[in-house]
Amino acid sequence: MDQSLYSKGGTKLESCGFGKQRIRTRVTDTVEIPSNLSHCSEIIAIHIERNQLVGELPAELGSLPKLIALNLRINNLSGGIPPSLGNLSSLTTLLLTSNNFDGQIPNQLGSLSGLYLFNIEKNQLGSREGDDLSFLTSLTNCTNLKVLSVYFNNLSGELPGSIGNLSTQLEILFLRDNEIFGTIPQGIENLVSLYALHLGENSMKGTLPDAIGKLNKLQALNLR
pLDDT (tens digit per residue) in 44-85: 999 999 998 999 999 999 999 999 999 999 999 999 999 999
Residues sharing a CB contact under 8 Å with residue 10, sequence separation 6 or more, in sequence order: none
Which domain covers residue 63, as residue numbers? 15-222
Q: What's residue 148's pLDDT?
A: 98
Contact at 8 Å (CB) between 100 and 132? no
Report whether pLDDT(125) > 60: yes
| Number of structural domains in the chain | 1
Is this structure's pTM higher than 0.75? yes
9 within some domain = no
φ/ψ of 177, rounded to 5, equals 55, 55
Q: What's residue 17's pLDDT?
A: 58
CB atoms inside a 10 Å sphere around CB 167? 20
Contact at 8 Å (CB) between 57 and 43? no
- CA torsion sign, 58 to 110 to 191 to 90? negative
- Mean pLDDT, residues 36-49 taken together: 95
Return the SS3 of 182.
Answer: strand
Detail the DSSP E strand segments found in 3-125. Answer: 15-17, 31-32, 45-47, 53-56, 69-71, 76-79, 93-95, 100-103, 117-119, 124-125
4 within some domain = no
Read off the pLDDT band of 128 (50, 70, 90).
Answer: confident
Residues found in the chain: 224
123 within some domain = yes
First vs last C-alpha separation in the chain: 42
DSSP state of 126: B
8 within some domain = no
CA proximity to 135, closest of 122, 115, 222, 196: 115
1 within some domain = no
Q: What is the CATH number of the domain that holds 64?
A: 3.80.10.10
Return the SS3 of 131.
Answer: coil
DSSP state of 145: -
Q: SS3 sequence, 101-124?
A: EEECCCHHHHHCCCCCEEECCCCE
3 within some domain = no
